Amino acid sequence: MSASILIINSGSSSLKFGLFAADSGDSLCRGIIDWAGETGHAELRLTGSSLAEFKQPVAVRTHGEAVDVALRAMVETSPLNAAPASQIIAVGHRVVHGGTLFIKSVLIDERVRTAIAELAALAPLHNPPALAAIAAAEAALPGVPQVAVFDTAFFSSLPPKAFVYPLPYEWFTDWGVRRFGFHGISHAYCAQRAAEILDRPLRDLRLVICHLGNGCSASAVSGGQAVATTMGFTPLDGLMMGTRSGSLDPGILLDVQQRRGLTAETLKHVLNHESGLLGVSGVASDVRQLESAAQAGHARASLALEMFADRVRSSIGALAVTLGSVDALVFTAGVGENSSGVRAAICEGLECLGLRLDHDRNSSVRPDADIASQDSVSRILVIESREDLMVARETSRILRLPSHDFGDCDNF
């Protein structure tokens, strides 16, 4: 079997992974391991190129353990006949925060690891797991080159008016306080895929892309370049999310510190883990559970979903004005791809932007597809987010591997 590229995407308590053929770009297998806190209980799910699926409970407590389990499943026990371990010639990692130092993908060395660690304060849920996965992959595959692909890189094209905050300018020049933007790998892929679906050059398109999962962000992309995004200095900014607050009045934080005695550490935990859909509903951060609760008459679950749709809709409007017009609105990631109810709620009132939803298409769609009505001036697309494919493309490009079918990465 041909040589392969291993792709690793480290979440706060999950590990997504996959193998791609280095010569053709074909996906050999994809998988995920989810674990809950410190219980050690997790499930491995592995899907092969034939779409056959393998599931198995596994004992995992750390990202390092998860990498070892993933490798054994893919290349040793090989339930789906993936490539053997000796064939892995490169490893690509999604890394959330690259700051201003990494505006392109890079080969990982000690300097890069140190910089990723220093940026962990700005992405505490993601950069440390990425470092753990890098170390585990290096131990399991000694001598195999590893590449870091940064979520922030796609937003390095933001103009100053979009990345400078209205704070004392010295905070930007001296302390590096600025908008970075996140989910860039997903936004970059969706921009390219939208051009393919619409059969139009990416350079001619103005897109609003909504990455809606447990973490959420929206971007304005013009000619393949990001010109605005909702996430900011950290992944806390912007849209309401599963457990994160998104944008709010900073005076609230000052008030609860001064009058209620909340510490900075407590606020950090609340804003990251106890806010958003979970905080408002008191039920769950998972949209599927909230939709079930709302249908059963749970008022706070309904309110959380209404607030979520309203905030996304407002951001779409702002981004559309930034672009001047919209050729297509894109929904992607777990919620964006799978919740027809959320998409419908968000699209209510967007007719003024030339975006008219076809409700029948929306209710039965599978990515990748157009769910706009025939008379809609602009298109509404549902696109499967393929961060793994983008990381594979970038890894191949950085290492100059003889790949032929990974696609064009010029706009990333």
Q: Which pLDDT tens digit goes with each residue over 349-370? A: 999 999 999 999 999 999 999 9
pLDDT average, residue stretch 78-82: 61
Which of 158, 150, 203, 197 has its CA nearest to residue 179? 158
> How much is the average pLDDT of 165-189?
96
DSSP H helices, 37-126, are 63-71, 110-118
pLDDT for res 404: 46
Q: Which residues have C-beta within 8 Å of that of residue 330, sequence separation ≥ 6?
A: 190, 191, 194, 207, 208, 209, 210, 381, 382, 383
Please tell me the distance from the alpha carbon of residue 116 to that of residue 105, in angstroms, as a whole number.
13
Judge if 4-150 and 200-382 fold alike in CATH terms: yes
Residues annotated as part of the active site: 151
C-alpha span between 146 and 132 (Å, rounded)? 13
Nearest to 310 by CA among 320, 302, 322, 299: 302
Q: What is the pLDDT of residues 110-153, one digit of tens each?
A: 999 999 999 988 888 889 999 999 999 999 999 999 999 999 99
Name the CATH superfamily, with its identifier, for domain 4-150: ATPase, nucleotide binding domain (3.30.420.40)
Which residues are bridge partners to 280 per DSSP? none
Structure confidence at residue 75 as a pLDDT band (50, 70, 90): confident
The whole-model pTM stands at 0.91
Q: If residue 136 lies in a helix (H) or strand (E), which one and from where to where?
A: helix 127-140
**pLDDT tens digits along 387-397:** 999 999 999 99
With beta carbons less than 8 A apart as the criterion, state whether 173 and 119 touch: no
Q: What does pLDDT average to over the chain? A: 91
Going from N- to C-terminal start, the domains of the chain cover 4-150, 200-382
200-382: in CATH 3.30.420.40 = yes
Q: Give the 3-state DSSP-derived string for 367-410, with helices as H, strands as E and coil as C.
A: CCEECECCCCCEEEEECCCCHHHHHHHHHHHHHCCCCCCCCCCC
List pLDDT tens digits, range 24-69. 888 888 899 987 544 557 888 888 766 678 888 888 888 988 999 8
Residues with Cβ within 8 Å of residue 199, at least 6 apart in sequence: none
Percent of the chain residues past pLDDT 70, beyond the cut: 92
